[in-house]
């Protein structure tokens, strides 16, 4: 496993006045599926944001390498073009920007996705169909007035269109009804199958994992990665919750202090 796609090493990060992540190390190989679990407020979203390059957080130590390059200092747009994708827990609304032209813009930023306007239209239509999105979605404004589930579908639409090497899905499944959940699951499967992309899935819900072959599971508590294991770790968490790890984290935190 020397050729990792993503390698986070000794990463500590937080906001200006609050450390959130402590000495986090994690590696994801190309095409692998990893799961990140942990109680609310553990720092999972923060880790996703820091990997994406959200300037709201400062890295105080450690590095993030992606595809063989150190991207710790890179802005989010550079990381995106390098192949990192983050599906947001709460995608923002951008009034007045039509979804379709937005999709065209972000696709055209990528030389490897160069296609004619006509081909692009067909491609977007195809993905929208896969995700059970009506064609009226595309003429609407980016995320504006969409339900939580619909916004997650729009995230999946972008994922399938942009074909990143790594997708971090931050609770893409939470708050979805059964139908939306199965659509999103199908989207993830398609991403795995068509793009051979790697996944880092942040979730509370094991349902979304049922149809995925999980390679590794990570557990985060209070900003520490406290456990890492095979897919079976998920079942253990399902049964016993995070309590077992919370003690470990208290110890880790205590050692630090």
Ligand X SMILES: Nc1ncnc2c1ncn2[C@@H]1O[C@H](COP(=O)(O)OP(=O)(O)O)[C@@H](O)[C@H]1O
Rounded alpha-carbon distances, angstroms, from residue 195 to 17, 121, 163, 190, 199: 39, 19, 6, 8, 11
Among 4, 45, 172, 222, binds Mg ion (CB under 5 A): 45
Interaction of residue 38 with ligand X, rule CB under 6 A: yes
Question: Segment near other proteins (CB under 8 A), from 48-56, 176-184, 194-202, 242-250?
Answer: 48-56
Min. distance of Cβ 79 from other proteins in angstroms?
7
Interaction of residue 115 with other proteins, rule CB under 8 A: no
In degrees, rounded to 5, the angle at the alpha carbon of residue 236 between the alpha carbons of residues 233 and 238 is: 110
Interaction of residue 58 with ligand X, rule CB under 6 A: no
Distance CA(94)–CA(102), nearest Å, equals 10
Rounded alpha-carbon distances, angstroms, from residue 198 to 28, 32, 43, 137: 7, 5, 21, 28
Let me know: does 204 contact 35? Beta carbons within 8 Å.
no
Question: How many residues sit close enough to other proteins to count as binding (CB under 8 A)?
Answer: 32
Question: Segment near other proteins (CB under 8 A), from 8-16, 83-91, 120-128, 184-192?
Answer: 83-91
Helices 148-162 and 99-108: crossing angle, nearest 10°? Answer: 30
Residues 116-145 that bind other proteins (CB under 8 A): 141-142
Interaction of residue 237 with other proteins, rule CB under 8 A: no
Site residues for ligand X per CB under 6 A: 15, 18, 20, 38, 40-46, 56
């Amino acid at each position: 496993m020397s050729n990792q796609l993503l390698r986070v090493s000794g990463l500590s990060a937080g906001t200006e006045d609050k450390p959130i992540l402590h000495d986090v190390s994690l590696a994801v190989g190309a095409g692998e599926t990893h799961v990140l679990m942990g109680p609310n407020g553990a720092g999972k979203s923060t880790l996703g944001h820091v990997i994406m390059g959200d300037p709201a957080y400062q890295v105080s130590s450690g590095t993030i390498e992606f595809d063989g390059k150190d991207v710790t200092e890179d802005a989010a747009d550079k990381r995106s073009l390098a192949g990192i994708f983050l599906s947001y827990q709460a995608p923002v609304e951008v009034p007045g920007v039509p979804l379709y032209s937005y999709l065209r813009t972000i696709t055209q930023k990528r030389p490897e996705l160069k296609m004619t306007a006509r081909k692009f239209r067909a491609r977007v239509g195809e993905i929208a169909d896969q995700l059970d999105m009506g064609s009226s979605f595309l003429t609407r404004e980016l995320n504006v007035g969409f339900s939580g589930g619909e916004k997650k579908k729009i995230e999946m639409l972008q994922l399938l269109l942009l074909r990143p090497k790594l997708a971090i899905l931050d609770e893409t499944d939470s708050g979805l009804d059964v139908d939306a959940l199965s659509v999103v699951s199908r989207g993830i499967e398609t991403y795995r199958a068509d793009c051979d992309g790697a996944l880092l899935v942040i979730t509370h819900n094991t349902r979304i994992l049922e149809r995925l072959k999980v390679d590794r599971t990570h557990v985060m508590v209070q900003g520490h990665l406290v456990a890492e294991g095979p897919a079976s770790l998920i079942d253990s968490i399902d049964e016993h919750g995070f309590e077992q790890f919370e003690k470990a984290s208290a110890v880790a935190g205590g050692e630090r202090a």
